[in-house]
Amino acid sequence: MLDSQCHSDRTSFAPVAAILPWSSVRDRAAPAAKPKRDLSVPVYKGPSHVNVDLQEWPGAAVAIANVHAQETVTVDLERGSDLILVSLEEVGSPMWVREKGTRHPAGIPQRRSTSIIPAGSRVHGEAQRPQYLRHLLLCLDRPRLEEQFGGEVDIDRALSLRLMYSDDRLMRVMRLIAEECTTGGQVDKLFAEGLMLALLSSLALVGENKPAAEWSRSGLAPWQLRRAKEHLMENLARDVSLEELAAAVDLSKSHFSRGFRESTGYPPHRWLLSARIDKAKSLLLSSKLSLAEIALEVGFADQSHFTRTFTKLVSVSPRAWLRQRL
């Protein structure tokens, strides 16, 4: 469902069908017909409301999907063209992206992860009890990308199958693309080409397919990371000491602190702050609690402390964040 479309006064692109290299040419004999690639946005099933902002980029249709739901949400990601799905924000249960026929991995999935899904891959996504999902979707025209960037980037390597992994440099590029798609205008061609090249270059440099929780070479064991996260989530409303966390996974404080940061990209206190903010977002969307009550519920000293931390991490105040999602 497309509720809105980005527009701009700047250099505009032709409709998606017109930029495809296999479009017919009326003034000369048309070559043998080639299958049309599917650059449409995947359909989310189960949400109460979906809003999609769609934009045409060089070699891609780029979309931001805002999904509101109370029940399970699924999306079939098996397509005739390559697809990139980026979790920008997820409130409530996050979405697992996995190959069809496989079970959910154990533990808590990495939020703000990226999945690269080549054409024909039997992949789907499922979020069991989400409240809000904000995804960046790039529906890619590989022949067009090969034509534009194949001389500079190994496209096959860049678009190899990788599900739910995290890379800070790549996420910065993804956020720039997402910000451009939500400014209310169509992207400048030179700027778009530069970002697409940066995206493909970053993808070609990252490692092979591993779930985000398994990327660390010297971090915590999967069971240790799972237990530490679960302990933090169960104790959001109180202060948790480093000694307590380390003891829960049978490690020294220094070994735990170093391993946790290696595995998640954050020190324990920073991860806990993010978890508190995620829980606060859930309460903002689903409850009638006041900001002061939410602050205490998720472990902040008072409303002022909660508002300052929320604004610092999310870049808008709690009330402004809620208004943008209603």
194 phi and psi, to 5 degrees? -65, -40
> Which of 59-63, 216-220, 229-233 shows the lowest per-residue confidence on average (mean pLDDT)?
216-220
For the chain, what are the domain ranges?
Answer: 4-213, 215-324
d(CA 190, CA 180): 13
- Rounded to whole angstroms, the Cα distance separating 220 from 257 reads 10
CATH class, range 215-324: mainly alpha
Cα gap 274→71, rounded to integer Å: 24
* Lowest mean pLDDT segment, chosen from 124-128, 152-156, 184-188, 256-260: 184-188
Range with lowest mean pLDDT among 15-24, 49-58, 314-323: 15-24
Cβ pair 199, 174 in contact under 8 A? yes
CA dist., res. 67 & res. 44, Å (int): 8
Average per-residue pLDDT for the chain: 78
CB 93 within 8 A of CB 49: no
Regarding the domain with residue range 4-213, which homologous superfamily does it belong to in the CATH classification?
Answer: Jelly Rolls (2.60.120.10)
Q: Is the pLDDT of residue 203 over 80?
A: yes
What integer pLDDT is reported at residue 109 of this predicted model? 55
Query: What is the pLDDT averaged over residues 132-140?
Result: 90
CB-based contact 318:284 (threshold 8 Å) = yes
pTM of the model: 0.63
- Alpha-carbon distance 224 to 250, whole Å? 9
Q: Which residue has the higher pLDDT, 71 or 218?
A: 71
Rounded CA gap, 21 and 6, in Å? Answer: 24
Integer angstrom CA distances of residue 244 from 79, 228, 232:
47, 10, 10
215-236 mean pLDDT: 80
pLDDT-derived band at 212, boundaries 50, 70, 90: very low
- Better-predicted residue by pLDDT, 67 or 110: 67
